[in-house]
Structure formats: structure tokens, C-alpha cells
Structure 1
């Protein structure tokens, strides 16, 4: 059920069988502390959406590996950010292409926190231009309450923490350096702050949280929750229509 594996003659039938829906995973390439590879966000976006695509039969578009990671600064190598306006325009153009290929329900699954605002802007632009296109931005930590509790257990401003490290130990262990996990812990310093600071001013090593607490067992359980709960969310979306049928452009009669 991967868009990149489907030929153009096959695509209309595949989309018809999937409620004219597609999934767009959006990740990032950025430092994840001394113990984890820079592709973590894209890795989880890819693995999660692949599993959900196979379960729901909704085609998955190729994942975006670059995101709005400006807040990670230049203190540590590995972060390759794009400007918010670049991400907005890129996702808008991807959505345009998906629409012209027959997509009418677009589920954007985001696994990097600061992609959320640009993706919301892209949503606004897409639905204003395409009257019959429905777009959802789903931020992976907020898929469900149990998934949220898992992500935020050790830090409110979490990054490369227990949750993310556990997920990678479960689904992509090759990008984790277990021998460095015990020394990677760094507490959340954002509590009570009025301003949103970049990571160079809140973390000593690029981590916020306690990766030393991570385990593959916790990661497998949480990944299972994420697949189950995102699949259920998308299944709900496949049967939904707008509450009212009013056109975006037509004035009140």
C-alpha cells in the first residue's frame, strides 16, 4: 500500500478502495543526543505509517525527511532544518499533487514537534484551494491519551528521551548507541519559562529527558499503541464527511 509501489493505472482503484485517502508521513533530520541517530523522527514516521497503511489499506506517500528543526541550533552537528515557510509550501505542493491524483482525504502524520505550526498553515492553504479536500494534521504524541502519557512521562519538553529511545530500541535498534544511554540524561529546564528557547539554551547535550530509562520492551508496547490508535483514528476519518455541504466560495443565498 505504498504510493511509490503503485503504478498510475492501479492508483484510481486503490484510492477508490481506500475512500480516496492517503497518508503523508512528515519527519525531520536533527541531532538526537549522543546516543541516537539524527534520523529518529523520520524513522518513526516511516515505520508507524507503513504499519498503519498496511492495516487500513490507505496508501502511504513517501515520508518527508526534513522538517522545521531550527530550534536545535548549530551547537551540535547533524541537524538539517528547513524554514517554516519552506515546509508550508512543500507540503502545500505535495497536497496539490495528491489532490490532482485523486486524493480527497489527506492524513498528515507528523513526528517532529515544531513541524506542527507549518503543517497547520499548509492545511489552511490546501482546504481553501480545494473545496472537496479534507486534511488532518495528526501529531504522533497526541494520537491518544495513552500515547501522550508515554511521550511526556519524563519531560514536558521531551526530546531524545525515554519514549523516543524506547521506540527506536524496539523498531530501529541500529540507530541507538546503548552504551551511551546512561550518560545521556539531561533534565527538562523549560518549566516556568515565559519564552520558548532553542535547545542550545535548555540542554547540555541535545537531550531533554532520561534515555537511561528506555527499553525495547516499553518501545514495543508503545509502538503497538501508536499503530492501533492511529489506525482507529484514520478508520474514523474514512467514513466522515463535512457536517454541512456549503461551498467554500459560494455566498449565502
Structure 2
């Protein structure tokens, strides 16, 4: 059996892949978070996992099991942490998970890691975990580990956004469970998308500040921050292919640099 999935390998197969390098370990980072009435709560880790699987078909890479829990959902980008099913980590917990996993990869002999994030709220806690891992590894004499951290949606081109949003792009924050994620879901896991359950809530309108405890009344009852009715599988295919191609190209350059 040939596989790029770390969890499906024996330790001997994994060790061989690491030693015959160059090799990059891809770590999908996501969340378990409500995504309206029509998308599964695992959307934020299912999408980066699928992207990583496709990337590993293009570059020398192994896909680690995803981190399926993320930092607390925020009202202005994820609808908030009050929805049933949304299951979140404290920031320090997520930071520790990222630190520990990267430190373990380095112990295995891996020297290139990509953290592929699918949940906006994870970003700074992932950065902290990466920095702490690198600091500890340098103290242990390992100075050649490089970690790439990315949010997959940042690889969307302006042309693709224009194609997906002929009436204008509302911004990534309001795209929670909306056109981009729903289109991607139709491409990646169509059997889990309930288009017949779409709720036609108007787009959320937030002030330019937060209140703690969160104002739940600011969030549409469905949890969707912008209408998803423009989502199509064709848009999802364009988005998915663009992410895989552009991220794979970027990571290939980092692998090539490691060989110099």
C-alpha cells in the first residue's frame, strides 16, 4: 500500500520517507465549529485536510492527522462560541498542541513542516506554538527546522474572487459558512452539504469592536454570517484547484531552498 497519510503508515514506512527526503510534513489545523444548518461542524479541518492530501500528490510530503479542535469561535468571524456542538480550546492549549507536535516531528528527523490552517481564530496561537517549538529546539541544538504557516484562503486570487462574487466580495470574516466554504464543501464532501437546509438570513452587521461577554444577538440565528445561496460546486472546484496549485508551488520552493 502506498499512502501519504502519516496515520496510515507503519513507523518503518514513515521513517523511510523521512530519511530519504527532502520531505515536508503537512499539519492541517482546524476546528469543530457550527457552520450553519447546511455544513458539517468539521468543515474547518475537513477542508485543509483535503487540500493537504491533494498537495501531497504533487510534492514530497506526508500529511499528519489534523488538529480537529481550534481556538474559541469569535462572533465576527465564526458566529461565536455559544452554539451547541462548537467545541473549542483555550489559546494556551492550542499553542501547546502545536508546539508539542512540531517538536515531535523534529525528533523524528523532519526539517520542513507546513501548518495549513482552516480556522481564522487559530492564527496567533499557532504562531506562538511554532515560535516556542523553534526556541526549544534551538536550545537542544536543532537549528535547521523551518516551519511554514498559512491560511489556505489567502491563496485566493483576485480573479477567482471576482468570479465567485460578481456583486462584490463581502470579506473573509463574513464568509463563515457562506459562498466560499459552501462551494468548497460541495466539491470536497458533497454528501455532507445540505443545500436544502440553507437559511436565508441577511448578512451580519457588526460594529468595529467586540463586547465581552459576547453579544449573541449580533449573530444571525443560523450562525451563517453572509448568505450562501450563490455557492456552487463549480466555484468550489475552481477554489480547490487554485489552493492546491498555489500552495504546492509555494511549499515546493521552501523544499528546494532546504536542498541548497
Question: Does TM, normalized by the shorter one, top 0.5?
Answer: yes
SS of the residue 1:59 aligns to: strand
Corresponding residue pairs, total: 241
What residue number does 1:119 align with?
126
- TM-score, with normalisation over the residues of structure 1? 0.86
C-alpha distance after superposition, 1:98-145 (max 9, x if no partner)? 111111111000000001010010111112122221111111111353
> Higher mean Cα deviation, 200-209 or 91-100?
200-209
Q: CA deviation at 1:97?
A: 1.0
Runs (4+) of structure 1 exceeding 6 A deviation are none
Q: CA deviation at 1:241?
A: 4.5
What residue number does 1:145 align with?
157
SS of the residue 2:131 aligns to: helix
Superposition RMSD on alpha carbons, in Å? 2.5
Gaps of 5+ in 2: 138-142
1:61 corresponds, among 51, 64, 68, to: 64
The answer on 1:179 being equivalent to 2:223 is: no
| Mapped partners of 1:123, 1:164: distance in 2 | 26
Q: CA deviation at 1:153?
A: 2.4
Q: CA deviation at 1:156?
A: 4.1
2:145 corresponds, among 128, 133, 147, to: 133
| Mapped partners of 2:124, 2:217: distance in 1 | 22
| Mapped partners of 2:203, 2:17: distance in 1 | 47
**Contact kept in structure 2, 1:147 and 1:225, CA below 8 Å:** no
SS of the residue 2:129 aligns to: helix
| Mapped partners of 1:125, 1:74: distance in 2 | 27
**Contact kept in structure 1, 2:22 and 2:60, CA below 8 Å:** no
> Higher mean Cα deviation, 83-92 or 17-26?
17-26
Gaps of 5+ in 1: 244-253
**Contact kept in structure 1, 2:155 and 2:242, CA below 8 Å:** no
